[in-house]
Structures are given as C-alpha cells and as structure tokens.
Structure 1
C-alpha cells in the first residue's frame, strides 16, 4: 500500500510539472501575440496564430458579425513603436488534457481596453492560437478642464519647493526664508540655520541673487539630507553655491559645501542654481554664465572655457565627490563637468519613463530652449543661439573641433522658462507623460507632449491669467502645483473641474 502511495504521489508530481510546462508554453505564445500587436510585428503575430485562425467579432450596435481570416487580420498591422501607456494582462488560462486550452487576455491602451478570448491547441509546432473572439471598450477618460486654485499667498518671491509629505512642503523664497508649510492649516514655519554667507542686500531691479533650489535626498526619510543652492557673498562679490545640510526639528545642521562656482564677481544675474537627482543617484547642478551682455565676453567665452566654473552643468555624488564615469573634458578642466555651453539654466528634471534629464535654458531676445542632457555635450552658448544677442555688435569666435548640440525645442518669442517636471498623476489622465514648464514672461505654464526626444505638441495654459511662474512640481499623490514669482507669491494647485 505504501509503495502504491509513493507511486501515486510521483505520478501527480510529474503530471503537475508537465501541466505547468504547458502553461509556460501557452504564456510564451500569448506574449508573442502581445509583442506583435504592440509593435506591428506581423512575423510575431503569424508565429503565435495557426494558419486556420479566425477573428470573430459582433457589433451589437449595428448587428453586424465580422469573421476575419488570419491573413486579413495580420495584414492590417504596420510597424510602430510600442506605446508607453500600453499594458497587457493574461487574466486566466484553462488547460484540458495538456492538449487544448482557453485563455482570457486584456490589452490596455491610453484610450481603450481590448478583451480577447483565445482557443489554443497543442501542435507539433507548440501551442498556437486557433480561434479568437474580442471586444473593445473605450476608457471613461476625464477631459482636462484645468483651473487655478490658490493654496497659499504671502510668499516672498518663491523659487523652489520640495514635498516632505502630501501635507507638508518646503518652499524657498528667493528674497525671504526657507519655510515649511502645512497645506492643510496654512501655517508657515521658518527653517533655522540657513548658511550665513547668503547675500543680504539686493542691487535693485534685475538682481537675481537670493535663495534658489531646495531638493530632498532620494533617501531623505533615512538620512534627512537636503540640498540648497543660493547666492553666496563675500567682499569680492557674489557667486552660486550648493550645500548639503541635515534637516531635523526645523533646523539645518551639518552644512557641507558641495560646489562653489568661483570666481566671485559683481555681476548680479544668471546664477543658475537648478538641481535634480538623476535615476543614477547622482546630483545634477546648473551654474549660469553670470554675464548680462555679450560685450563682456572674454576671447574664449566663459561657457566654452572648461577651466571656468560658470556656464556649465555638473554631475557629482551626493557628498560632493566626483563620479568616476563623468565625461573627460581634458587637462585642467573643472572637476565635475558634465555639459558646457550653458547661459542661464534654472530648471532640471528627469523623465521617470525614459530616465533622461531635461532642462530649460534662458535665451536673450528669444532663444529660450528645452534640452535633453547628454554627457559631454556642448549646448553652444554664445557661439550658437536660436535668439539674438543683447549686444548687437557681438561676433562669436570660431572655435576649432567643437560640436554643438541643438535644442529639442525653442520658442519664437521670449518665455524665460524656469522649472519643469513630468506629470504622472491621475487627475488629468490625458496629460500623463507630458512635460510641464513654467515661465517668467508671456505665459505661466506650458504643456509639452513628447515622444522619446521629439516634441509633438505644445500648449500654453491659462492665457487669460498669465503670471510670472517660477516652479512646477507634482506632489507625492500626483497633484500639480506651481509657484508664482511675485513679492506676494502664491502656491497654486492646478485642479481638474471635470
């Protein structure tokens, strides 16, 4: 009796193993169908389907029954890139005698859900789809009806923000404090311990000095690190400085300088100060060229001089050290350089889908740009520009062996783009994956539809309520906010009223 039980157990084990193997083969066939459907690869579709396979569909509105042979069905497909919003799902697989099976699958696109029922059979070529019935259900997508909702006023030219949670956010005021704001109670708490070399007096209209970016470490919950960019001042003048600090009990401690963009000068503009963490865990920082007019450019322009810290984008480790895989700009180059030819970049962000870093760039008269950051790239300033020079008599030098990276997008008018972010929330489903950019001139918020590194569509929002806007950011729960650049600055939420 004992031997019989052992043999029965072994028999069941073998059967289960064999059935599981068949299931894996069926899933492989279905995945081949998914891949062919998503990319228009007719070879994959043909391989997944038996030559006798037919597609059956019934249109209940018209009462029409559709019977489509495999060849007709496959011939409708054309090669295409896989839609980033597309997802697939095998709902269930039911196998009988390891010879026939039924499966329910779903394909979700940005607008529709396709539900297919497959009949499959095991052949000498493996498991194949012999029959398919399907239906298509449009998603109930809320159309975008954006409105502005003022969450908080009384901010002193806010520049940046960083969410501690859905309810609490840090806001840096360019001409004020670094404050913690409770979005529910509206209570503002100044953060103590800000670096003491912060500029104390501004030179009047056109002085861009002050507090800039506030950025949380990706591991902030564990290490409490945050990063600040601001205008540092000595008797020699001003420059851009980046520090790391520990935030505990609303006090900054353990200040550490990560980047000091010397020399100190008396120029009062184009500090840069944009920061973001890349998907590689490295800190990316923009430093502006600092000149107001091209008349003051040296023979080798500042942004083209790899020994000058200004007019560059840097890539460093979170402790200020330099990554070993940074691009090599040659002997004597400033440590940490990642890209050159920058005029006045303030906004940096990374695309969570492509993992590429995008940045905005201020031109002079026109020439405002959107770029994708490339290792070792030269973005051209002031040799190349899509706008005009402030000093009309300026003639840029011709530099040997220089290759320039063109912008992905530039405006035909002055926008003065600042912060930017990619949207992934649910409040505006049709905006998912879009790039949002704020601007200081002629428009407060721009929406870009992009595919890979191509701008497909651009929309300016809120034409009837333009306002200088400094930053756009998404909260942890996917809500979209902007900061207005005013002495009575506002934190505004973009709300969908549909």
Structure 2
C-alpha cells in the first residue's frame, strides 16, 4: 500500500513538472505574477515571497525621496486580510528575451491605482521577480471595459500601404501598393527600402479602381530562425498581368533565394481583383486568395471562372510553405488545380486566423452591395457568380445552373457597399470588451467595423469612427496587442488606435 501511494505521488509530481515544462515562457511569467497578485490581495507573505527572488529589491520615488526596500522589509508590511472589494488586477505588457523578462502590471483598489514594473529572471526555481519599481496614485477605479476611441498617426507619407508584418514590437515590414517594401521603425519613424524585389512587378497606374501593385507581406511562423517571408503581388508579362505568390529570405535589408510558389495564370490585361490575401493556419499551412479578375459579370464565360476547377482564378488555396501540396487537401477532381481548397470567390483580399477557434475567416467584395464575411471551409464553394447576397450590375445576367453544386452561405453580409479588406480578431488588453471581436477595414466611404462573434454567427455589427472616415486597407495588432490601421491613400498612414479611457 505504501509503495502504491509513493508511486502515485511520484507520478503526480512528474506530471506536474511535465505540465510546467510545457507552458510557454509567457505563461510561466503570468503564473508568477498571478501568484504575486493573489498574495498582495490577501496579505499572504508566502505567496508574495514565493514570487520574488531572495535578492529582490522594491523601489519608488515619493515626496522627493528615493525609497529602496529589501524583499524582507517589503514582506514585513503585509498583514493577512480579506480580499478587498473592487480590487482588480491586470497584466498590461510582457516582454521576454531568453531567460530575462519584464512586465508592467496594475493593481486597482477602491482608492488607488498601483502601477508596477517588474524585471524577472528564469532560475532553477522558475521565473522570479528580480526587482520592482512602482508608483501609486489616487484615482477613480478603472473600468477595463470602458472605451474611448482615439486615433494617433504614427507615420504618414506611405504610398497606399497594403499590409504590415511585425518583426518586433518596434519594427514592421510594410508593403506599399504603389511604392516599396519598407522596414519601418515605429519609434524612430525611420524607413528603409527593402532591396531585391522581383523585377516583374507591375506597378499601379494610380487611378481609381486599379488594384495592381504589391499586396501582402507575411512572415513565416519561424521567421526568427529561417528569415523566410512571403509576398503576393501583381506580376507582368507580355500577355498581361496576374497574381504571383513568392517566398524569399530577408537578410540585411535584401530579399534573396526567391522561390515562386504560385502564378495565377492566365495573364490578362484586367487590372482588378487580384486577391493576394495570405495567412498561415494553425496547421502551419499557407492559405492565399486569388480573385477572378473580372469587373463585370457579363464578361463571364459559359462556365464561370470561379466555378471552373481548371482555372486558377476565383479560388482560395492551401499549400505547404515550400510550395508543395499537403496530402490532406480536399479533392476537387483529377483536373482541378493543385492546392485548391475552396472556390466560388469573386474578390477576396482579407484573410485571418481566429487563434481561439483555429478557423480562418475571409472578407469578400460583392458586386452591387453583397460584401461578405465568410468562414473558410475545406472543399467549400462560396457560389460566385451563381449566387450573391447583393445585386448583379446587369439585370439580365443569369448564369446557367451547374448540376450537383452546393453553395456555402456567408456568415455576414452588408446591406450597403463596404468593400471589406484586411480583417483581424482582436486579442489585446487595451480594448478588453472587444476580446475576440472581428475588426474589418472598408474602402468604400472609409470605414472600420467591429463584429461581435459567437461561434460562426455575427451577433452585432458596429461602425467605428463614423465622423472621422478613412479608407482602411488593413487592421493589424502588434505582438504586445497594440492596434494599428493602414489607410489606403496616396499619403498613406500608419494609425495607432488608442483607448483614451485607460
């Protein structure tokens, strides 16, 4: 009996250690901070002390004096007490480099707001607070759900920025549809043009409705180690232009080792609806959108482009990051384009991953109205041009029904024209009430939309900044959760959206 009890104890201990080892560094730091919060809230010196390294010092500056407490001095101030009413705690930010970390946290009581800055170290005992700097001020109790929207222009003078990929919290790559691929420092505002972009790029004419140029820039999930990035753009040839997807290595501000992953033949002389949206799924596969390239439905062939499994246009694809085709892709028949994942697409530009559900969602431009939000499903046919939630430009357009086809409905469509583009599921802390809301930029009239999602149902839609409109090309979130917009303008901007209520 004793041996069995001992064995069970060892198994439990081993499982606990295994779980701890498999937590991310950020999660382990969050656990340490939560231990500190729990001890602080009830005066439990065991918990507070366990979160701190023995050498930890706590510092602040008050009434013109610099104050420095040792760990033992600090712990002596605590007395056991019930958890106060209206006490709230939150982790504002965490940054980790190897075995060093930093965090900003807030503790709000009925009367005061305590803001602490922790430096942390990873030791044999796990992550511990090495030192703390704090401040305290009287305030109203903050409401984490309070929202007061405020725009701040970080950078302007960009040439119709199309997408933004964060290399770090301070640096991001930005693709300008009518300009360059640039590396932008969001703090110093310094810009560096990335060299080595393919020479078959077709530049935009700069006219209304011309979609030609650079599109998405997307980092490989393992970019830190392999330096791979992915680019979509309008490529030209003697036969016209089309969408091209490439992979390249970025080192020292230069693209090299360029590999073509997909070319959406045929080349045509239309200058619209290239698609070009890209995202990695939770499965590590690369998903990208290709538009049907027509402006008017009257130009459709007898078998419409987006319904033709042998035509690369009007589809969404799923490939491995090296361009090979996954074995578990859906089957569309022997003659179908390799990599085909979904069809019946008119003009989808935005595609994003919901990290909570691991689903990919995408936006799509309709004809007259009929702009949509869809959940990406393997093997789905989204119906264009056989069906639309809007109206056709030509009332007499009547595509011949295709026997056996089953069409997938959108989860949301607008009654008005929005021209939805880049979209993003919000996961930051600054707008706590928006957690898992879908934010969608719009080109028509200039709009930003917030959709409240429950499962695959849009429960409500709110248009933001209705008195301060800009054509929004992309909604992005930094590694630490800051919210940014890209404006589709000749004088394009990177805009930080702030919550002035906090």
TM range (shorter): 0.7 to 0.9
Separation in structure 2 between the aligned mates of residue 266 and residue 435 of structure 1, nearest angstrom:
35
8 Å contact from structure 1 (residues 193, 252) kept in 2: yes
Note the alpha carbon deviations across 1:354-396, whole angstroms, 9 max, x for none. 0000000000110000000000000000001001112232112
Corresponding residue of 2:487: 484
In structure 1, the residue matched to 2:210 is 207
8 A contact 2:183–2:194 mirrored in 1? yes
2:316 to 290, 313, 317: 313
Cα distance between partner residues in 2 of 1:391 and 1:211: 31
What residue ranges of structure 2 are gaps of 5+ in the alignment?
Answer: 14-33, 40-81, 83-87, 90-140
Is structure 2 residue 175 aligned with structure 1 residue 172? Answer: yes
**Corresponding residue of 1:442:** 445
Structure 1 segment 334-345 matched on structure 2, within 5 A: 334-345=337-348
Q: How does 1:246-261 map to 2 (within 5 A)?
A: 246-261=249-264
Aligned structure 1 segments of 4 or more residues deviating by more than 3 angstroms: 13-23
Match of 2:298 in 1: 295
Structure 1: give runs of 5+ residues left out of the alignment.
1-9, 24-87, 93-103, 105-109, 112-137
Q: CA deviation at 1:204?
A: 3.4
Partner of 2:51 in structure 1? Answer: none
For residue 354 of structure 2, what is the aligned residue in structure 1? 351
Partners of 2:430 and 2:204 in 1: CA distance: 42
Whole-Å separation in 2 of the counterparts to 1:384 and 1:444 = 26
Deviation at 1:443, TM superposition (A): 4.0
Question: Equivalent of 1:424, from 401, 423, 427?
Answer: 427
After TM superposition, list the pairs within 5 Å mapping 1:272-287 onto structure 2.
Answer: 272-287=275-290
Superimposed CA distance per residue, residues 70-120 of structure 1 (whole angstroms, 9 cap, x where no aligned partner): xxxxxxxxxxxxxxxxxx99x99xxxxxxxxxxx9xxxxx99xxxxxxxxx
Residue correspondences, number: 383
Indicate whether 1:230 and 2:198 are aligned.
Answer: no
Equivalence for 1:64: none
How far residue 457 of structure 1 moved from its aligned partner, in angstroms, is 1.4
Query: For the Cα contact (< 8 Å) 2:178–2:204, is it kept in 1?
Result: no
Q: Distance in 1 between matches of 2:345 and 2:184?
A: 33
The equivalent position to 2:461 in structure 1, one of 458, 463, 471, is 458
* Structure-2 change in CA distance of 1:248 and 1:378 (3 Å): same
**Distance (Å, rounded) in 1 between the aligned partners of 2:469 and 2:284:** 36
Report the CA distance shift for 1:254/1:399 in structure 2 as closer, same or farther (over 3 A).
same
For 2:358 and 2:284, the matched residues in 1 are separated by 11
Deviations 1:125-152, CA, capped at 9 Å, x for gaps: xxxxxxxxxxxxx994240111111110
- Cα offset, 1:196, TM superposition: 0.7
**Deviation sequence 1:432-465 (CA, Å, 0-9, x none):** 1111100001342111110110111111100101
Q: Is the 8 A contact 2:203 2:212 kept in 1?
A: no
- Equivalent position to 1:143, from 142, 146, 155: 146
CA distance in 1, matches of 2:8, 2:208: 78
- Measure, in 1, the Cα distance between the counterparts of 2:371 and 2:379: 21
Instruction: Decide which structure has the larger Cα Rg and report it.
Output: 1
RMSD over equivalenced CA pairs, Å: 2.7
Equivalent position of 1:360 in the other structure: 363
The match for 1:43 is none
Cα pair distance change 1:193/1:401, threshold 3 Å: same
Distance verdict in 2 for CA 1:446–1:201, change over 3 Å: closer
**SS of aligned partner of 2:173:** strand
Counterpart of 1:153 in structure 2 is 156
Question: Compared with structure 1, are the counterparts of its residues 421 and 179 closer, same or farther at alpha carbon in structure 2 (3 Å cutoff)?
Answer: same
User: Is contact 2:439-2:449 (8 Å) kept?
Assistant: yes
The 2-side partners of 1:408 and 1:200 are apart by: 34
1:473 to 462, 473, 476: 476
What is the TM-score when the length of structure 1 is the normalising length?
Answer: 0.73
Structure 2 residue matching 1:481: 3-state secondary structure: strand
Checking the alignment, whether the CA contact within 8 Å between 1:443 and 1:460 is kept in structure 2 is no
Give the secondary-structure state (helix, strand or coil) at the position aligned to 1:180: strand
2:224 pairs, out of 221, 224, 233, with 221
SS in 2 for 1:232: strand
Q: How does 1:55-204 map to 2 (within 5 A)?
A: 140-200=143-203, 202=205, 204=207
Q: Report the Cα distance in structure 2 between the residues aligned to 1:166 and 1:253, rounded to whole angstroms.
A: 25
Residues 177 and 22 of structure 1: CA distance in aligned 2, closer, same or farther (over 3 Å): closer
C-alpha distance in 1, partners of 2:354/2:169?
21
Cα deviation for residue 20 of structure 1 reads 9.3
Partner residue, 1:403: 406
Distance 1:472 1:247 in 2: 24
| Residue of structure 2 equivalent to 1:73 | none
Distance 2:234 2:394 in 1: 26
